[in-house]
Each structure stands twice: as C-alpha cells, then as structure tokens.
Structure 1
Amino acid sequence: MKEFLESFSNREVSIVFWTIVIVFGILILNISGALHLIKAFFAKKLFYIYCLMSLYLSAIIYSLYSMNLWESSLYKDFLFWLLTSGFVMLLSFTKLKSTGDFKNILFRILTINIVLEFIVGNYNFSLLKEIFLIPFVTFVSILIIVAQQKKNENEKVIKLLNQILSFMGFIILCYVLCRLIKSPTELFTIKNLKTFLLAPLFTFLFIPFVFLIVVYSKYEQIFMNLNRNFLSNKRKSKIKLAFFQFGNLNLEYLNNAHNITIWRKAELQNEEKIKAYIRKEIRGEVKFRN
C-alpha cells in the first residue's frame, strides 16, 4: 500500500485532489441529481458488464504478473487508465457502430502524441504549482469549448484563450526539455517503460471486450425488434438463426440486420425463401424508407 501511494506524482495528486473537491461540490449542490447519476451508472445491465470487465482485466493483470511484468506501482497507472480510457470506451459503446471506429482507437494508440504526453507527464512541478496549474488549464480548455459553440461571435476570445494555452504548453515543454537534457537517465528506466506501455497495452487488449459488448448490444436490439407480434415463433427462430449465420461478428452486417427488422417487416413476414433473402440483404446496403 505504501509503494502504491508513493507512486503518485505531484500532478496525479493534484488531479485526485480536484476530482474529490468537484465530486463533493456536486453532491452538496445537487444531491438528488448526483444520486440519480450514480443509480444510472450502476444500472442492472451495466452491473453485469462491470463484473465481466473486472474478470477480464483481472485475468490480464494475473497474466502479466505470472510473466513477472507486473509490479505494485503499476496499479496506480492502471487505475488512472480505468477511470479515464477504460470507462470512456465502455460507456460509449453505443457510439461504436463499425469496425472503422475500432480502427480509429488503434490509430490513436500509435500516434506520436502518446509519447509526448508520457514525457510531459513524467516531469512535474511542485505540488503547490500543480494544484493551481491543473484547474487553470482545465478552466481555459472549458472556456474554449463553450466559446466555440458560437465561433463567429467569439473568434477573438477563442484566439486569446488558445494563445494562453499555447504559452502554457511552451513553458511546460521548455521545462521538460531542460530536465531531460540535465538528467536523461531519470526518464529512461524499466519502471517508466512499463508505465509508458501500460495504457496502450490495456487499451489494445480491452478492444476485443468492448467489441463483443457492441456485438451483443446489436443482437439484443435486433431480437427486440423481432420479438414484437408481427411474426410467429417458428419464423422468428428461423430469422434469428439466419442473422447469426450471416451476421456473425461483422458490425456492418449487423447494422443492416437491424435496419431490416425496422424497415423490411413485410418481407420478413411474407418472403418464402427467408434465409436466402436475409443472406442477400444483410450483405448489401439496406435503404431506409422515406
């Protein structure tokens, strides 16, 4: 436990501090809304997914531990990954509609930005400076997002805010480069290498889990549409089997299958060679009715 707590950098302590302050602030100002959000977060279906996710990630950690690649200090980095990238990927699974969306996630893992983020994140200011720096940068970033809602009206404001962020980034980058030149061995250690690889590795290994959740969700939507009273049970079973056979794990095909259950009800009811029909339609482009 001591090693785990000592592994937190000043920046990470600052982030934890402000997160706790914000959470308590939300609870005090709007306790009913916060309780509703917590209730939604732990909905029954999501709870089952969390349990499966826990087993899956535990198996990954155990595998790394058995290969002598895991150490106690990595739990901190794993926790940060889980509360940011992990849960963001999981809770946004409804937005992942095609294999291209998963390719974009892989592409982000391989970008040079992840190297720069690691190098900058490895060099911290004093705790007091970090406690003031984190909310300032966050506040300016939020102002930019809000100002961009009316970009034409706030063009000068957006430009000024971007200049402030650029100036802050320049100062931090200069500080990092000075530290790196003075003491390169401070960065290039086995421990830092493990820390650097942890987030990309877990994101890469977590993609199959999220992919299967997306596939399950799509089949659930398809079968919910089929379970309405416009088909006999025997025909439903035949159609479901055909969707399994020709849809497989292909997200594009499953999107087509979902569209078929919405826009092609008459065909699903009356088509004599239903299996051949589904095979043809599921692998083509299903057009929406106007």
Structure 2
Amino acid sequence: MQDQAETKKKENIMREAFAEGLMEAMKRNRDVVYLEADLAGALGTGNVFKRYPEQSFNVGIMEANMMGVAAGMSVNGKIPFIHSFGAFASRRIADQLYLSGCYNGANVKVMGSDPGVAAETNGGTHMPLEDMGVLRSFPGLTILDIADTNLMLSAVGKMAETYGMFYVRFPRKGVINYYEEGTKFEFGKGMILREGTDISIIACGLEVQEALKAAGELERKGVSVQVVDMFTVKPIDRDLVIECAEKTGAVVTAENHNRIGGLGSAVAEVLVESCPVPMQRIGSPDVFGEVGDRNFLMKKFGITAGDIVEAALKMVSRKV
C-alpha cells in the first residue's frame, strides 16, 4: 500500500505544484486570474476555484476564445494564467496567441499540459510533438519546458511578476525531481546539473531525467558528461550553449518533441553560427503521436536514456 501511495503521489505532484504556485500568486496579487477550458478535474485545480472564486473562470471547451478573453483581461491590468492540454494550448489557439497575445503586447501565461509522450493514452489528437516548433517563431513569446515541481513552483511565481507572453509545456504527473527545494532559477538561463568534459547533453522537460540516466551509463563507460537543463527553450541561453561546445567539443540535445523546430533546432542554430561541433538531436521522428503508455512511446520515438547514450558515443567518436 505504501508503494501504491507513493506512486500516486508522484503521479499527481506536478499538477499539484502548479495549483500551489498559482494560489500563492493569487494570494499575493488579486490581479492574478486563472482561466480554464473545462479541465479543472484533469489538472487538479478545483481548490483554485474554491479558494479564489472571484479570480477563477471556466470558459468551457473554447480554447481560442479563452485566449482572446485572457488578452482582453491583460489589457485591463489583469495577469491571466490559462490552461488546456498542450495540443489545444498551442495548435488550436495559435492565431489568437499570436495576434491578441504577442502582437498586442499582452501579459498572458499559457499553460500547456501533457506535451509529447506525456499525453499517453489520449493519443495523437492530444499529443503535441510540434508545439514548440509552432510557437518558437512568435515574437516576444518565452517558451518553457518544465518537469520538476520545484522549478514549476518558482516559474509560476516569477511569471506572475514578469510582464510578457509565456508558453509553458509540462506533464501533469509522473515526474521525479532533480532540483532541491528553494533552488533559484532565471528565465533564459540554463542550469548545469552535472559537470563533464567529454560531451554535453542539453535537455529539457521529461528528457532531463533521461539525460541524467544516460550520463550515469556513460560515466560507467569512461565518458565524462555535462548535463544541462535548458528549461527555457526560447530565448535560448546562447552563452551556455557555446560554453558547453567549447568545453566538451560535442553536443547531444534531448527533448520530448519532434526533432524539427524545438530545442535541438534552437541549439543547432546557435552552434552553426558560433561554435560548430559534432551534434546530434534526440527527439521524436517527424510523425504524429499515437496511443500508448509513456515507456512504450519513448522507446518507439527513440527518446530513452539508451538512445541518448548511443548518440553521445557517436558524437564523442566524431570529435577531432
């Protein structure tokens, strides 16, 4: 029973962290508001509505309208956080996010839950493997990929105090923390989780944990690995990417996203312009999502720790 309880706790902890951070922000500032597309049960934000009914709004299954309402509230001084599953918080509202949000200079925090394989049995219609690629070219939009509860708590508080448009992708459940409580973060700055000299693994979201597993395996093979959590995919931490390339001479990126348009593309853009080194991108192939549990999908899409190890060994062998 204890093991089951612990598993259940891990599965719920990410969405609980979001709700906790949001309620703390609402308590500090009554202008912080929350808009939900009829998914309070799925995200576990029922207590947000109960404790702050005047700051919480269920707009129904109308995500594009929700983005427009949030932008209007922002223009009138509110600080809206809005949520839907990542597929609907990116593809479905892209035009409203671009025009009413970014073009309008609004102050809306778009929370897209269960990106990529985290959507699991909801299947391809709900499995955004392209959301960062769709949104990364939107001017003025900050994009975060988060899979640690301490990082989520910090990010929610900082977003509430930072004017601007944000898109945050995060799994609702099933995360294992790699940050200590109280760790300080800065948007646009990656975090070095492990120092190394032979190769750098730059990861985001769910793939950070896979990168850390891969680093352990590679160390046993005599390869020294530097692991970076690039939780801000846009703006990318150019200085840290270049520092990693100069220090280790080879880079592997890892993301729970299509290899096209996301973290791998952002890192490649920096390296090809500033510090070309052997590099390989770990991410899903250019395919649609499908039904399956997370482990099955990670193996099928080639984003496991083992896939990272294989790529890293190849890149080390290519170093001059």
TM-score of the alignment, normalized to the shorter chain, above 0.5: no
Structure number having the greater helix percentage: 1
Q: TM-score range by the shorter chain?
A: under 0.3
Q: Which has the larger radius of gyration?
A: 1
- TM-score under structure 1 length normalisation: 0.26
